[in-house]
Amino acid sequence: MTNQFSMLAKTMTGLEEVLANELHDIGATEIELSNRAVSFKGDTAVMYKANYWCRTALHILKPVCSFYIRREEDLYKKIYDIKWEEIISSKGTIAVDATVNASVMTHSHYVSLKTKDAIVDRFRDMENIRPNVDTENPDLRINIHLFKNLCNVSLDSSGYSLHKRGYRIKTGAAPISEVLAAGIILLSDWDKKSNFIDPMCGSGTFVCEAALIANNIPPGYYRKSFGFEKWIDFDKQLWENIKTEALSLQTDFENEIIGSDISRESIEIATENAKAAKLHKDIVFQHISFEKQIPPEGGGVMICNPPYGERIVPDDIIKLYQEIGNGLKKNFKGYNAWIISSDLTALKFIGLKPTRKITLFNGPLECRLAKFEIYDGSKKASKHDYSLDQ
């Protein structure tokens, strides 16, 4: 097959396998997992689809070249030698994102500046006119990854991060990333047919992501733009076909998706976000505390991230997690409950035996996602079950 090229999808720790499955579903090949990233092959359609459909991807990068550097000057020279005029017009704008790890060059900001200088100087030498820098909304976002002496230069086909879906117009305190929320729902193996509930929904991220999944709406549906739309080889017809096909793949959801919270303000924010996504008819919002929440009969999946740490005194946090455990035992029979928290001590006070524990990161915070299967006589935790701090 010609027209196939290598790509790299960036994600969050713990979501690599979920992302690999998503990439497989859109036709990617030669899929390989690495740390917070999945490499794969595909054609332009696969690249557009990866941006539009992959719920757990942050950026889809298209490599330009790789080279070794021994000293700082090598970076400038190698970047200068790339035929940038075949990639971007001199009248376009650029931005450079850099990550640096154990390299001769230690500051990512400096690597970005040197890269930008090399590109701009090449254009000025060749055409006497140079692309401008626009860090917010550039025509081309370039990604530099410097690990030891190896430098990977890629084009960011996503542009701004894919977690910015476009529907979350307001947030409350400590909102979870849309990518992490979608990843947790996909990890939960929710069958998209049974009930779904987040009884501490905050700004409604889990319930909105669940409604998108249940209706088979692409996570990129609401975004204003993707990086590849400004590339000089942008295939508008192909992109329109992918979006039209996606509309025909939408499905209906019959059961209930419920978001509830003790805070009235959170419920107002969550409702506004769901309206922005036109998902408000699929989600029932309730202003009610977890302790009083009685989910619909028939079982399903409960996912939430309760408050953790910072603004709450330890005694109250422990009491809250104990009440979550009591509420689960009393009201959530037939449900699989998934709780993500960075407070590993508080999690122990749920008092039920977790049947799965997965390490994830919510921003810089290391978290555990714990699964509790709630049925008549659900097992209580013994002191050995909470090697959550594995």
Q: Check if the beta carbon of residue 272 is closer than 8 Å to that of residue 312.
A: no
Using CB under 6 A, pick the residue from 45, 104, 262, 365 that binds ligand SAM.
262
* Residues of this chain, 297-336, that bind ligand SAM according to CB under 6 A: 305-307
A 10 A CB-CB count for 111 gives 24
Please list, residue by residue across 69-89, b when 16 or more beta carbons sit within 10 angstroms of its beta carbon and e when fewer do.
Answer: beeeebbeebbbebebeebbe
Q: Is 174 a binder of ligand SAM (CB under 6 A)?
A: yes
Pick 108 or 266: Cβ nearer ligand SAM: 266
Pick 18 or 200: Cβ nearer ligand SAM: 200
Q: Quick one: which of 125, 126, 128, 123 has its CA closest to 140?
A: 123
Q: Check if the beta carbon of residue 329 is closer than 8 Å to that of residue 352.
A: yes
**CA distances from residue 315 to 113, 137, 305, 320 in whole angstroms, order as listed:** 49, 46, 18, 9
Using CB under 6 A, pick the residue from 203, 336, 342, 362 that binds ligand SAM.
203
Strand (E) or helix (H) holding 108: helix 108-127
Using CB under 6 A, pick the residue from 44, 108, 158, 205 that binds ligand SAM.
205
Q: Quick one: which of 72, 64, 52, 57 has its CA closest to 88?
A: 64
Which of the ranges 187-195, 202-210, 213-221, 349-357 carries the binding residues for ligand SAM, by CB under 6 A?
202-210
Q: Is 143 a binder of ligand SAM (CB under 6 A)?
A: no
* Residues of this chain, 217-256, that bind ligand SAM according to CB under 6 A: none
Pick 89 or 322: Cβ nearer ligand SAM: 322
Q: Is 196 a binder of ligand SAM (CB under 6 A)?
A: no
Which of the ranges 84-92, 109-117, 171-179, 352-360 carries the binding residues for ligand SAM, by CB under 6 A?
171-179
Q: Check if the beta carbon of residue 42 is closer than 8 Å to that of residue 3.
A: no
Q: Is 295 a binder of ligand SAM (CB under 6 A)?
A: no
Pick 94 or 340: Cβ nearer ligand SAM: 340
Q: Is 75 a binder of ligand SAM (CB under 6 A)?
A: no
Q: Is 350 a binder of ligand SAM (CB under 6 A)?
A: no
DSSP state of 3: S
